[in-house]
Amino acid sequence: MNYGERISELRERRGWTQEELANSVGITRAALSHYEKNRRKPDFDTLTRLADRFNVSIDYLIGRTTEEKAVLDSAARDFVDDLELSDEDILQRFNLTVDGRKLTEEEARRFIAFVRMERSMK
């Protein structure tokens, strides 16, 4: 099942109109219609709001899993919540790739810097 079918199915299961769901997540009914018909992909913020509204995981919404809710045990949740890696840790622990090619160290540093700059602007 693709994301559009998932969104439509979840909405209909709850008995909501497109207008009701769209208003509750802050998008237009037309945008929701485009998502449900797979004409347009929702951005991350919209996916997050839809997942929260439906009380499901984003992975479920986009069809990566058939489990509606991803459940982390408390130890895993605490670890993830406290996870903060330095640039060096990230570069040493992870192989960052784009388009199937590993980023050079300089590209990875610029990528990290870009994310930090973008976050600071919000």
Partners of 121 in beta bridges: none
Identify whether residues 21 and 57 lie together within a single domain. yes
Mean pLDDT of 2-20: 96
Q: What is the CATH number of the domain that holds 27?
A: 1.10.260.40
Mean pLDDT of 55-80: 76
Residue 56 lies in a domain: yes
Q: Which domain range does residue 116 map to?
A: 83-120
Question: Which has the higher per-residue pLDDT, 35 or 117?
Answer: 35
Asked if pLDDT for residue 1 goes beyond 60, the answer is yes
Question: Which has the higher per-residue pLDDT, 1 or 16?
Answer: 16
Sign of CA dihedral 108, 109, 110, 115: positive
pLDDT band, residue 47 (cuts 50/70/90): very high
Give CA angle at 30 (25, 35), nearest 5°: 70
Report how far residue 27's alpha carbon sits from residue 85's, in angstroms, rounded to the nearest whole number: 35
Residue 43 lies in a domain: yes
* Chain position carrying tokens 């980023």: 103
Report how far residue 48's alpha carbon sits from residue 54's, in angstroms, rounded to the nearest whole number: 10
